[in-house]
Amino acid sequence: MKGTCGLCDSGMKKYLFSASGSDLVECLNCGFVFVEKIPSWSRLKSRLDFWGKQDVCDTARLSDSFSSECSEDNRSKLGYIEKHAGRRGKLLEIGCSTGAFLGFARDTGWDCTGIEISEDSSRYAREELGLEVLNCDFDDVEFKKEEYSALAAFDVIEHVVDPLKFVNRANMLLRMGGVLALSTPNFSSITYRLLKERWWVVRCLDEHLHFFTPGTMKRMLRKSGFRVVRCYTRQVDLFNIMFTLKNRKAGDYYQARDRRQNLKKVSILRICFSAVKKLINLSFRLRVSPFYNMGEQIVCYAVKIGEPEKAATGGNAL
């Protein structure tokens, strides 16, 4: 896949910047952004294993996953899935981590299965939550065709080697009318526009291999036999933007998180933070807003209406 766009197969591209020993390029034909040379599978898996361990041993990270805020977010995600799936049935989550969303879905009546490449995270989901979670790669498991009513992959597709192949396989596993739910960083976000390569999300090119905009996400899903029923952007880390611009250097995930948590400890700031967050998210969703679709994260729901345009090629899916 070196040098070739994963969405349109074009070899025309422009260089953006380098980080983590890799070059990030943009397809001149369709605008998709990707790492020019995919790292080895062993290196990629080691990075995913690292974050899987952090999901369990980092108590703040683990607590966040099961916080009231995340529970409300899971309720919202599942609500969109149920609205378009029509009925509760079998749900598969790829990259389910410690099982927060999967457990929430199970408790509301879904028949749930998860796939998690991290041994630590998958063990936690099985032993602590009693979930059915397979510790493997998406490609390593055989499923029946059209077995599932819903498939979710939150903050996963940026890590996969071949995103089109990944989504095509999701299509194969979903029944007609089944729902695919995805989330991923937004390359057209206000954060990237302001920070460029100083945004920590786009500096992890040894694990973040592909970057979507709402436009390229919709294009991929349509190509894979889906009808997009909802696609929006949300969230912005204002503190990280201000810190990075002030210090003129890139931060990392933990620095950004710690700054948010420290400010939230002050009651008045926590109240202000919540109010500002709601207003900002609203501005990302209003078409008349100058910040429309500029949130840091893309959230997308799509319904299967047919087969993919063509078979995908490539290596490991995750």
Residue 115 counted as domain residue: yes
Structural domains counted in the chain: 1
Q: Phi and psi of 145, rounded to 5°?
A: -65, 140
Q: Is the pTM of this model over 0.85?
A: yes
Q: Which residue has tokens 């500096």?
A: 203
User: Residue 122 burial by CB count (10 A; 0-12/13-18/19+): exposed, middle or buried?
Assistant: buried
What's the pLDDT at 170?
98
Domain that holds residue 26: 13-237+293-304
| Residue-level pLDDT at 256 | 62
End-to-end CA distance of the chain: 15
SS3 state of residue 244:
helix
User: Within a domain: residue 96?
Assistant: yes
Q: What is the pLDDT along the chain (318 residues), one digit of tens a residue?
A: 456 899 999 999 999 999 888 999 999 999 999 999 888 888 898 999 988 999 999 898 899 999 998 999 999 999 999 999 988 999 999 999 999 999 999 999 999 999 999 999 999 999 999 999 999 999 999 999 999 999 999 999 999 999 999 999 999 999 999 999 999 999 999 999 999 999 989 989 989 999 999 999 999 999 999 999 999 999 998 878 888 887 766 666 556 666 656 655 555 556 666 777 788 889 999 999 999 999 999 999 999 999 998 644 444 444
CATH number for the domain spanning 154: value is 3.40.50.150
CB 171 within 8 A of CB 218: no
Residue 80 lies in a domain: yes
Q: For residue 210, give the 3-state DSSP assignment.
A: strand
Using only C-alpha atoms, what is the Rg of the chain? 19
Predicted confidence at residue 254, as pLDDT, reads 59
